């Protein structure tokens, strides 16, 4: 179906090629996961296949690209559109039409299908992805998962047998993401579509795919079976890390299938959560509420945060996580209730006072960056916080190591941007930091770095509120968890309770080992 022969790709102005002499073959109906660290060239590899690289991205392509045995090297994206369907991260950002059916028909219109055939195909592909009842709906009124289904239907409606998806689940909550992955697996099998899927959160997809392509970041690209892919590789999902630590052979990919595996009590350590009930209370909400018009985003919620605590707020998209932490911070909307802290109600603090007491890092950390170099951003932060020069720089160095200060903030990796914003938000000595979905778009290595930072804050006696979908990340770090649904707390407890096997948010480790109190790979001693 797809053959890459000696394919190389380099961007203009960069010495090192992103991809060097890649030789890959993908069969009809094969479901392939493409992974690699952020910035390794995953997206570039995908874009080579439909011509967006180099025609849209710039750069130089070498080698040959064969689709269905025909040479399409250097083909323009719109000429490859009849062969390759393409779906990207943000479905709503790539919509052209306003209703579902018009969107699905768009590609067919470009390719000159006649009206009758279009009507039939729109119906057939809407059924395939399970949105046949929504054909006349407005795209803007759909949920993220439904929008991504529309994008998949429109990428396939013109009969494309090759589907390329660039992190299609990154903006979705776990259940919607799992649905999309299952749908893709079905499409590969029953429609004989070859699928290339780039994804960070390997734990979501590993058990469903036929093979794995790793883009290593040094230009090399390798393809292997899922159970063999990660032996030599740094970025592994928790279940693989667990298998490697315990020396399981073959490596387990699906935690629910490894429940017969047992672990001796000397092979793991219990998580000792220090008694914090006597520690100082940094935040306490009483009946905190948020309403947007008729929509009650947050129904009266009571939570408490002690010093040295990491309080995780979990729940689906739209369950009220962001509303809660923004309302606590004081800059977000609050419709009722109160928040108390040693500094008074945060609502009554000025922006400058908040910077020294209760700070927040938003979902898109780069919204806070607007200067031309890292050095300027660090200096700016010192000035605004009225602290000694280079304070922010040394904090940033603790978080992210040495980074060239002449770099443009937008050229930093997602993890480094987060570290920079975090440093700026902590330099004035804030004791509470609120993090809104900090792991979005981070690879495993960047997540580990962030986890180290949060552990450090915890040890220093700061209070951290962490809004996240990321079960594994939260299982690793949190001291307490609240789960929101429709703006209401539906579950509250220690991570050992919330992530235990059989609970709705079971972590991979507890699914695989079902041992009470064992929820995260870091508790397991290497064999």
Partner 1 sequence: MGAWLAKPIPIAAHNRTKDFQMRNLAKLQAGSIHPGSWWILGFSLAVAAGMTKAIWVAVLICLLAVGLSALLRTDAPWARSLSFYVWLAVAILVIRIAFRVVFNSSSSENLAFALPELNLSLGFGPPIQLFGAVSWNTLQAATMDGLRLAAIVLSIALANTLANPRKLLKSTPAALYEVATAISVAINLAPQLIESLQRVRKARRLRGKSPRIGALAGTVIPVLEDTLERSLSLAASMDARGFGRRGSLGNGASASIRVVSLVALVLFAAGSYLLLTNPSLTVTALVLLSLAVVAVIFVVSISSSKNVRTRYKKQKQTFADYSLWILSALVVAVSLWATGGLR
Q: Kindly state whether residue 277 participates in binding partner 1, applying the rule CB under 8 A.
A: no
Exactly one of 155, 162, 400, 457 binds partner 1 (CB under 8 A); which one?
Answer: 155
Q: Kindly state whether residue 241 participates in binding partner 1, applying the rule CB under 8 A.
A: no
- The token duo for 203 is 């734990």
Q: Kindly state whether residue 281 participates in binding partner 1, applying the rule CB under 8 A.
A: no
Omega prior to 250 cis, within 30 of 0: yes
Q: Among 6-14, 78-86, 280-288, 397-405, which window interacts with partner 1 (CB under 8 A)?
A: 78-86
Q: Kindly state whether residue 276 participates in binding partner 1, applying the rule CB under 8 A.
A: no
How many residues bind partner 1, per CB under 8 A? 85
Query: Distance (Å, rounded) from C-alpha 380 to C-alpha 441?
Result: 26
| β-strands 463-467, 432-436 pairing | parallel
| β-strands 281-292, 336-340 pairing | antiparallel
Beta bridge partners of 23: none
Exactly one of 359, 391, 510, 523 binds partner 1 (CB under 8 A); which one?
Answer: 359
Radius of gyration of the chain (CA): 24
Q: Among 60-68, 264-272, 304-312, 348-356, which window interacts with partner 1 (CB under 8 A)?
A: 348-356
Calculate ∠ Cα 420-423-426, nearest 5°. 150
User: Would you call 465 helix, strand, or coil by DSSP?
Assistant: strand
Site string for partner 1, 10-49 (x = CB under 8 A): ----------------------------------------
Asked whether 223 and 230 are in contact (CB, 8 A), the reply is: no
Q: Kindly state whether residue 254 participates in binding partner 1, applying the rule CB under 8 A.
A: no
Query: Least distance from C-beta 207 to partner 1, angstroms?
Result: 12
CB closer to partner 1, 106 vs 343? 106
Per CB under 8 A, contacts with partner 1 among 470-499 are 485-487
Q: Kindly state whether residue 194 participates in binding partner 1, applying the rule CB under 8 A.
A: no
Q: Kindly state whether residue 60 participates in binding partner 1, applying the rule CB under 8 A.
A: no
**CA proximity to 212, closest of 64, 435, 45:** 45
Query: Least distance from C-beta 352 to partner 1, angstroms?
Result: 5
- The token duo for 152 is 């998949």
Query: Distance (Å, rounded) from C-alpha 42 to C-alpha 222?
Result: 12
Q: Kindly state whether residue 84 participates in binding partner 1, applying the rule CB under 8 A.
A: yes
Asked whether 35 and 207 are in contact (CB, 8 A), the reply is: no
Q: Kindly state whether residue 154 participates in binding partner 1, applying the rule CB under 8 A.
A: yes
Q: Kindly state whether residue 52 participates in binding partner 1, applying the rule CB under 8 A.
A: yes
Exactly one of 21, 64, 106, 461 binds partner 1 (CB under 8 A); which one?
Answer: 106
Q: Among 216-224, 276-284, 355-363, 411-419, which window interacts with partner 1 (CB under 8 A)?
A: 355-363
Q: Kindly state whether residue 302 participates in binding partner 1, applying the rule CB under 8 A.
A: no
Query: Distance (Å, rounded) from C-alpha 371 to C-alpha 295?
Result: 37
Q: Can you say whether residue 251 is alpha, beta or left, with left for phi > 0 and alpha for psi between -120 and 50 degrees?
A: beta
Sole residue written with tokens 């952020």: 38
Per CB under 8 A, contacts with partner 1 among 322-341 are 331-332
Q: Kindly state whether residue 380 participates in binding partner 1, applying the rule CB under 8 A.
A: yes
Q: What are phi and psi of 361, to 5 degrees?
A: -115, 115
Report which secondary-structure segment, H or E, holds 110.
Answer: helix 100-111
Query: Least distance from C-beta 125 to partner 1, angstroms?
Result: 13
Exactly one of 30, 101, 241, 472 binds partner 1 (CB under 8 A); which one?
Answer: 101
Q: Kindly state whether residue 133 participates in binding partner 1, applying the rule CB under 8 A.
A: no
Omega prior to 507 cis, within 30 of 0: no
Strands (E), 255-335: 281-292, 295-301, 304-306, 310-314
Q: Is 223 exposed, middle or buried (0-12, 13-18, 19+ CB in 10 A)?
A: middle
Site string for partner 1, 282-301 (x = CB under 8 A): ------------xxxx----
Q: Kindly state whether residue 352 participates in binding partner 1, applying the rule CB under 8 A.
A: yes
Per CB under 8 A, contacts with partner 1 among 383-442 are 383-385, 410, 424-425
Q: Among 11-19, 58-66, 303-311, 357-365, which window interacts with partner 1 (CB under 8 A)?
A: 357-365
């Amino acid at each position: 179906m797809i053959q890459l022969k000696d394919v190389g790709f380099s961007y203009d102005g960069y010495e090192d090629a992103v991809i060097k002499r890649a030789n890959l073959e993908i069969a009809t109906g094969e479901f392939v996961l493409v992974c690699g660290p952020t910035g390794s060239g995953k997206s570039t590899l995908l874009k080579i296949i439909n011509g967006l690289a180099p025609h849209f991205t710039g750069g130089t392509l070498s080698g040959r690209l064969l689709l269905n045995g025909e040479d399409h090297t250097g083909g323009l994206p719109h000429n490859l559109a009849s062969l390759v369907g393409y779906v990207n991260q943000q479905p709503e950002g790539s919509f052209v039409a306003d209703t579902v059916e018009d969107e699905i028909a768009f590609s067919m219109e470009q390719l000159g299908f006649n009206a009758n055939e279009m009507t039939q195909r729109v119906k057939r592909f809407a059924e395939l992805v399970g949105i046949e009842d929504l054909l006349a709906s407005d795209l803007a009124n759909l949920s993220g998962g439904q929008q991504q289904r529309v994008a998949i239907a429109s990428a396939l409606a013109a009969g494309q047998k090759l589907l390329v998806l660039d992190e299609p689940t990154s903006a979705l909550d776990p259940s919607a993401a799992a649905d999309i992955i299952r749908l893709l697996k079905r499409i590969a099998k029953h429609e004989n579509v070859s699928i290339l899927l780039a994804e960070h959160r390997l734990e979501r997809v590993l058990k469903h795919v036929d093979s794995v392509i790793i883009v290593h970041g040094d230009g090399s690209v390798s393809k292997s079976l899922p159970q063999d892919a990660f032996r030599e590789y740094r970025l592994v999902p928790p279940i693989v890390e667990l298998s490697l630590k315990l020396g399981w052979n073959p490596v387990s990919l699906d935690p629910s299938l490894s429940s017969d595996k047992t672990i001796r009590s000397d092979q793991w350590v219990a998580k000792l959560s220090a008694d914090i009930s006597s520690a100082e209370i940094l935040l306490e909400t009483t009946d905190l509420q948020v309403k947007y018009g008729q929509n009650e985003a947050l129904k009266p919620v009571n939570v408490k945060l002690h010093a040295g605590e990491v309080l995780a707020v979990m729940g689906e998209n739209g369950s009220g996580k962001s509303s809660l932490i923004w309302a606590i911070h004081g800059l977000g909307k609050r419709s009722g209730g109160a928040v108390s802290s040693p500094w008074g109600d945060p609502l009554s603090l000025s922006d400058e006072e908040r910077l020294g007491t209760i700070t927040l890092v938003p979902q898109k950390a780069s919204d806070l960056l607007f200067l031309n170099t890292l050095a300027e951003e660090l200096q700016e932060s010192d000035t605004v916080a009225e602290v000694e020069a280079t304070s922010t720089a040394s904090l940033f160095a603790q978080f992210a190591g040495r980074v060239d200060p002449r770099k443009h903030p937008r050229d930093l990796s997602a993890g480094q941007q987060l570290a920079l914003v975090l440093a700026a938000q902590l330099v004035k000595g804030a004791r509470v930091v609120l993090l809104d979905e900090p792991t979005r778009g981070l690879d495993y290595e960047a997540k580990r770095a962030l986890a180290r930072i949060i552990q450090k804050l915890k040890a220093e006696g700061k209070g951290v509120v962490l809004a996240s979908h990321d079960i594994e990340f939260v299982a690793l770090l949190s001291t307490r968890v609240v789960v929101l649904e429709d703006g209401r707390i539906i579950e509250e407890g220690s991570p050992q309770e919330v992530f235990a096997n059989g609970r709705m948010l079971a972590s991979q480790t507890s699914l695989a080992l079902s041992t009470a109190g064992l929820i995260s790979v870091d508790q397991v001693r290497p064999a």
